[in-house]
Structures are given as C-alpha cells and as structure tokens.
Structure 1
C-alpha cells in the first residue's frame, strides 16, 4: 500500500515539474515576443534633438519598422537640446549618413526613433558617437497641428464639429462605419465652408483694407510704440518713488478721514444754515436783483464823494421834518442850507 502511494506521489510530482517548466518557457517566450527583447551584443550611440517630447527610456529604435534597439537615457544638453542615448544590435549599421527621426508609435502618444540611411559617409561610427542635430528630426507637434485647424473649427457649427469628432473616434475604434462614410461627412463639412466663400472673401478684403491703413500709418504707429516704451521705462525707473508715494497717500487718507470725523457735526450744521440762506435769497431774489442794479450808481456817487482823499466829506444841503403840537397838529419844517457843495451831486 505504501509502495503504491509513493509511486502515485512521484508521478504527480513529475507532472507538476513538467507543468512548471512548460509554463515558465511559455512565459519567457511571451515576454521576449511582446518586448522584442534581444540577447545579442549591442552598440551604444547618442543623438541630439531640438525636441524630444514623449521619448522615454525603453522606447524602440527601429530601422524600416523593425526593432533593432532601445532608448537607454534622455537628458538635457545646454538647456536647449535633448540628448538621447540608445543601443542597437551589433549588425545594425550607424554611419555618417544615418538620420534619426522621432515618430509616433500609436495614438496614445508613445514614440519611437526611426533610423534612416541617406547619401553620406558610409563608414560605421564608433560606439559612443553622437548624431548631430543637423541629421535628426523631432516628432510632429500635434498641438501646433490642431491649432492650425482652429479657424476651420471656428467656422463650423458645434454640431458639425461634434459629429466629425464622433465619426473619427468611431473609425479609429473600429466600431463605426467605413472610412468612406467619414470622408463623405468631411466632404459635407467642406461644402458648408464653400457655401460661405463670399463671407470669407469679404472678411479677407476688409482685413486687407485694415492692414493697408495700418501700413500707411506705420510711422505714427512706430512713434506710438516708442513713446509707450519710454513711458513704461520711466515708470520702471520711478517705481520706488511711486510705491513710496502710495504709502504717503494712504497715510494722508487716514488723516483726512480723521479730520472729516472731527468736523462732521459743525459741517452738517453749516450745510443746514447755508440751505436756509439759499432759501432766503430765493425768496428775495427780486429785491436782490434791484439792489445789484442800483449798486453801481451808489458806488459811483460814493466814489465822487471820496475824491479829495482817504476820507468822506458830508454836507447838509436840506433839512426836512415835522413838529408835533398839542391837538395832533403838525408844523412842517423845511430848510435849505444853500451850500455850494450841494450842486456837485
């Protein structure tokens, strides 16, 4: 009984070992196939790019679409360029005529570097050599590309833009109609734009007219820009004084506020009295007007009276009055002095 049990256990153990080995081999083959891993010797090179956006360590190096290496490192050089270090298979030739171009690997935004051969030095570069910027090209900037379509999208209605975007997504996902349907809708969109060619033409004509006027006044515009630059420069030079004056203005505002708080009650009383004076003037405006009309005559007579010096001479020319007697009797009194000065008036 124990012999049969040991024999069965041994068979199960062998089966388990075979399963583990087969599974490990299959997993290794799958990893190598998916990752395009190579186990041969390789050479390391560098390439300078003006823009290496989206390139990461481990991205593919391809020749004619076939993976021949990987990106080892990405770093910045002189704060203006990107230096990419990569390794390629020993059999891959990198020479003086090799160009490096960053391309899109998929719609997600992953990149790979494509090596192409052009006319030039065919001698293989030694490991560690650098492909200069003159023989490299960055990837297409999709942001700039889509910004170029902004005028088109602005000319379309929101429904047309949404429909076109929806059909693009459906085609790329393989869930929509054929590419022919997408092109048909695109054609309808362009037809809509063609129907508005007159409006677009008028817009271009008006824009041309505006630019002509601006061009005719280029000297004035230049002077305006220079004057504005001088103004900004003066403000920049006086910024400390301006900022300092703001503190003084703030202090003055505080003092003014406290002053107003102190005179508020008498100020309100003065306003009320001024209102009463204005009311009195309004009621007696006729008398005031008559007095103002007579005032020049009075001032003329007073001026003639004071012609002999800084004093006034008064002369009694005539005296009139009444004397009351008992019994309610009155005697009028009138007396002429006969002075020669009375004739001057």
Structure 2
C-alpha cells in the first residue's frame, strides 16, 4: 500500500511539472506570435490621407526596430484617417517627428515608420496628434509597377520579386543604393534582351488583338456603356440588395429543410416514375394508337351527350358467348336492321 501511494505521488509530481512547463511554453509562444510587450507605453495619434492596407496590431518602428503597435484606425473629418498607436514610453516622440506608412513585404503588409524631423522639437504629450503635414501614405505600387510591365513579362517570378522588393526598399530609404538598383536593372535588361524573340511575338499578338478590338469598336463601346449602366443600377439599388440578403439566407435555410424532409418521399416518387416510364415505353404502340383515334372517339361521345348530362346509346347489335355451369358455351348474337344502324 505504501509502495502504491509513493508511485501515485511521483506520478502527480511529474504531471504537475509537465503542466507547468507546457503552460509556460504556450505563454511564451503566444507572446512571440502576438508581439506582446510588457513595457510601459504611451499613446499618440497621427492623421493620414490614406491608410489602405494598415491594420490593427501592425508595427510602429523607429530605425527599423519595433517600438509599438497600431491600436485603432478611424475616420477623421470625413476624408482623413486617424491612427491611434502605442509607443514604448522610453522612446522619444516630439513635435517634429514624421510618421510614414511603409510596406513591410510584397504581400502588402504595412507598418508605420517614425523618423526625426528638421529642427528641434519638444516631447509630445500623451494622445498628441501628428498632423497630416508630417505624415505620408505608402507608395502606390500599382502606379509604380505598371511602368515596369514590359520588363516583367520577360522575367521569371523570382527575378520579378527580387527586383520589386529592391525598388521598394530604395524608394522608402530602407537600405540599398541607387547603384545596386541600377546594377540589378542592368541584369534584368540583359535578360530582357535575351528574350527578344518572345517580346517580338508578344508585340505581334498584341497588334492583332488591338486590330480586332478596333474593328469592333462600336460593339466594345456599347459593351462599356451597358456595363456602366449595370454598375450604376447596382449602386442605386445597393440598399434593397443588402436588405434582401437576410431574406435570401432565410429562404436558403427553409429550402434546405424542405429538401431534407422531402428527400425520402421524392426518392420513392422517382422510383415509381421510373416504373411508369418503363411501362409507357413497353406499351408505346398501344397508347400511340389510342391517341390517334382519340379525336374521333371524343367527337362521337360528344354527340351522345348533347341532350343533357347523360349518354344516349342505341343498340344495333352484339355478339357474345354464354358459358353454362357445365362448361358448355352457347353463342348469342343480336342484329338491328333499322335505318339508324345502317352503315
């Protein structure tokens, strides 16, 4: 019994150690992934003309070192963006500090870089505002890279990524020199020259495409007009469309429930329908003949019911057999020779 109690206590200790170590490791992992800092921080605000791509939790950096994070992004004066961010209290943010929105990578992640301005300044107070005159939005990569489209068409994806990243770094002042950028451009231009045949074919194909578009200019213009009208109509009906989404969702839910309830009976009906189809196919000659003679029969039946809601019949003759109890069959026939029965 004592040996059992000793083993149980040892297992409990081991379990406790395992739980403590796992908890500490999980906490460290959460702190690392979430960029959680336990330093004292001070909140500031900055007014930007454009913060596309910036999200809550993105970095605040000074000289490339992370010193804080974005806490909140809101509309300011109906045309600007107010970014609230926290910076470690031991970092100096003064009245000349500039805030620049920069690209962290080619995926589109951003961060805010704080740099010293010209001239001396005093330390900003808590919740102080960096005016829009001392902020700058991120580079417009769409405009930048559109100018390099002819170059990119003849390059491998790896070369394009390397060149684009170096362009961003140089233009943002984060490293590299113009000489290195030009050297890289020269290398890419050599690659482009090696692909002269590919570029020639591309230009030829593009010329053919433009000629086709030119020949159908009127249709193309009408297409653009119709598309513009369609987009305008959607814009005008945005509120009804959004309002109907709830009803559509409810309809989908009810329809799904209805289908679920009718699945078994529907399957049985389909099986019976298969049987009916087979029977109709087997008796095709019969019902086709019936349909052919149906107009004449309906016309005859209509005449017999023309005196009221009953049918009038006149017996002109019949043929048949009568079977007696002993099995003897006696033929029976009747013929009416009146004028009405004359053929």
The TM-score, its normalising length taken from structure 2, stands at 0.47
Name which one, 1 or 2, has greater alpha-carbon Rg: 1
